[in-house]
Structure 1
Amino acid sequence: MMKPNTDNLFTRLPVVFALAILCTFLWGSAYPAIKTGYALLAIEQHDVASQMVFAGQRFLLAGLILLVLARLLNKPQLKLTLPKFSQLAALGLTQTTLQYIFFYIGLAYTTGVKASILNATGTFFSVLLAHFIYHNDRLTHRKLLGCTVGFAGVFLVNFNQSLLDFQFSLAGEGSIVLAAFFLASASIYGKRLSQKMDAMLMTGWQLSLGGAALLLIGYLSGGHSGEFHVASVLLLIYLALLSSAAFAVWSVLLKYNPVGMVTIFNFLIPIFGSLLSALFLHENIFEWKNLIALVLVCSGIYLVTRKAKPAL
């Protein structure tokens, strides 16, 4: 097991906890921020092309911010050979373009509370995929229980007031779950690439390439940038900074600490996403199904990411 360097600021538990919570707060805030962006930019629910333009602007800007930050931090620059560029493009097209096509469409057709809970399926998909790809990351009884509990929560949140009324649309909830699956799949590929190149540079390039592809797809499909004014520009900048800052901090935490110590905080993302959606979008989080689903999903994430205690 990797032992943290106690002389490093980023290994001190109060700092680790504070920064990990900050990252999950930022990621959770994306749900109400995106839906607010639709309203500020006058992007209609069915205007998929303009939603792609909005997403492309965000991620292209986020990628450029990371690349500039990497330059300021004197990161070793990537020599973009054709094989490396092809790998980065493949990662960008799956982890950013493909994932966020479905994520932005899904968020237009469902609530922020529901989307934040459904998107947590990415953690469970990652565990299941890792079982078939990595020989040293097999499913355990604890992980299997965590996935079962988590998916039970996701299943529950799709019921209406009555357990006899199941509401699940492919455009809304289906797109969010599909986006989570693409993210889980691309993350495994990204993990392999990160062994050969700097993680910050890798993410900066994949966000830039994926964001540019989203922007191009949106414009070619007839999308528009929306009605830009001070509030919408500030929101777009916030969303871009959210992605770049959260990744930069998260990658530093993973570098200096055991992975399990950091990833355990992932259970906070659906909590922050639900609470902030309730606060800013005036959505109802206090329905019994939402509360129970949130508890089940967070419990599932805790179970699959918690590091097992060594046998005495």
Structure 2
Amino acid sequence: MEQPTTSIFQRPVWVVIFALTAAIAWGWAFPLIKVGFNAFGITADMTGSKMLFAGIRFACAGLIVLSVAQTNGRSFQVSSKSNWWFILAFALMNTTLHYFFFYIGMSHSEGSRAAILNSLSTFLVVLLACAFFKSDKLTSRKILGCAIGFGGIMALNLGGSDSGQFHWMGDGMIILNAICGACSNLMTRGLSKRVDVFVGTGYSLTLGGVLLIIPGLAFGGSLPQINLLGIVCLVLLIAISAIGFALYNKLLSCNPVGKVAIYNSLIPVVGAITSCLCLGETFYAKYALAGGLAALGIYIINKGKS
């Protein structure tokens, strides 16, 4: 029988609900970013503007999370200078570098393709968690699931040039983004030991956002066209970040990393479908194959959990 004192973030049903909420929200970010770029007039060569756009999103999301944390009476205390350095490192990995690579990659790749390729992060987290945390055991089921999932990612490069091929500025940046995402997932456990996880999430988003805004402005970044569509996209992206990271980081802080990260399998599915529907992108047959293999890999891994 479940103990009454068990946190809601550790109860199986709520773990599923919260993790899927974050995953579905992040899946919608793929088309929203591209629509936002178009609405604000940000083109593929405007690196500074992309950094500014991303920085505003995350800085605002972080301030929202901090405001909610303060309203709920959560502790903002950080006990030592070394803990502040850890929070800064987490902000750089989880927000600044993670989304610098992501936004650059998104402007050079189709949203549906990027969404599937981004699932690499999920499988990296599963494998790395087994290496760093005793609570995550490496099993034959996990190995099989990751192998099938990686096969799905490789399937993206099947076919000729007319069906989309690997490009460093697109796919390469998304891969670097996935690596940063996987590493920051592992760092979340350490964050929760140094500061309240909601406060730490707010700090990391705010600091990471500011560290995107400053170089973005230095590189001449701006939002060339201010209009209602762009503002709506930006507001939705801010909400996605605030809700998604607050829920996800709290789940990571009190559950085995692999158990939570595995639900991110829904991100490539939602991202690919919404990108094709909202952006009118061509949905190649290999996308269905890649997405199906990624989902199968996730299912195999998840099925083995108690």
- TM-score normalised to structure 1 length: 0.88
Q: Distance in 2 between matches of 1:131 and 1:166?
A: 34
Match of 2:216 in 1: 218
Q: Distance in 1 between matches of 2:90 and 2:8?
A: 32
- 2:204 maps to amino acid: Q
Match of 2:144 in 1: 145
Q: How far off its partner does 1:198 sit?
A: 1.1
Q: Distance in 1 between matches of 2:255 and 2:130?
A: 23
Q: Does 1:303 align with 2:267?
A: no
Change in Cα spacing, 1:129 to 1:4, as seen in structure 2 (3 Å) is: same
Match of 1:154 in 2: 153
Aligned 8 A contact 2:98 2:177 in 1: yes
For residues 106-164 of structure 1, the C-alpha deviation after alignment (integer angstroms, 9 at most, x for no partner) is 1111111111101110011112223333345342211111111111111111234589x
Q: Does 1:229 align with 2:227?
A: yes
Q: Distance in 2 between matches of 1:130 and 1:264?
A: 11
Q: How far off its partner does 1:235 sit?
A: 1.6
> Secondary structure in 2 aligned to 1:130?
helix
Q: Distance in 1 between matches of 2:67 and 2:197?
A: 14
Q: How far off its partner does 1:242 sit?
A: 0.8
Q: How far off its partner does 1:20 sit?
A: 3.9
Change in Cα spacing, 1:66 to 1:80, as seen in structure 2 (3 Å) is: farther
Gaps of 5+ in 2: none
Gaps of 5+ in 1: none
Match of 1:205 in 2: 203
> Secondary structure in 2 aligned to 1:115?
helix
Match of 2:90 in 1: 91
Match of 2:189 in 1: 191
Range that drifts further, 79-88 or 116-125: 79-88
Match of 2:168 in 1: 170
Match of 2:24 in 1: 25
Q: Distance in 2 between matches of 1:139 and 1:10?
A: 24
Aligned 8 A contact 1:142 1:304 in 2: yes
Q: Distance in 1 between matches of 2:229 and 2:207?
A: 26
Q: How far off its partner does 1:77 sit?
A: 1.7
Q: Distance in 1 between matches of 2:21 and 2:220?
A: 37
Matches within 5 A, 1:96-111: 96-111=95-110
Match of 1:58 in 2: 57
Q: Does 1:75 align with 2:74?
A: yes
Match of 1:120 in 2: 119
Q: Calculate percent identity across the aligned residue pairs.
A: 36
Q: Distance in 2 between matches of 1:19 and 1:68?
A: 21
Change in Cα spacing, 1:87 to 1:11, as seen in structure 2 (3 Å) is: closer
Q: How far off its partner does 1:22 sit?
A: 2.8
Q: Distance in 1 between matches of 2:133 and 2:249?
A: 22
Q: Distance in 2 between matches of 1:259 and 1:307?
A: 15
Change in Cα spacing, 1:218 to 1:9, as seen in structure 2 (3 Å) is: closer
Match of 2:267 in 1: 269
Aligned 8 A contact 2:188 2:249 in 1: no
The root-mean-square deviation of aligned C-alpha atoms, in Å, is 2.8
State how many pairs are aligned.
306
Aligned 8 A contact 2:149 2:295 in 1: yes
Q: Distance in 2 between matches of 1:14 and 1:135?
A: 24
- 2:111 maps to amino acid: G
Q: Does 1:292 align with 2:274?
A: no
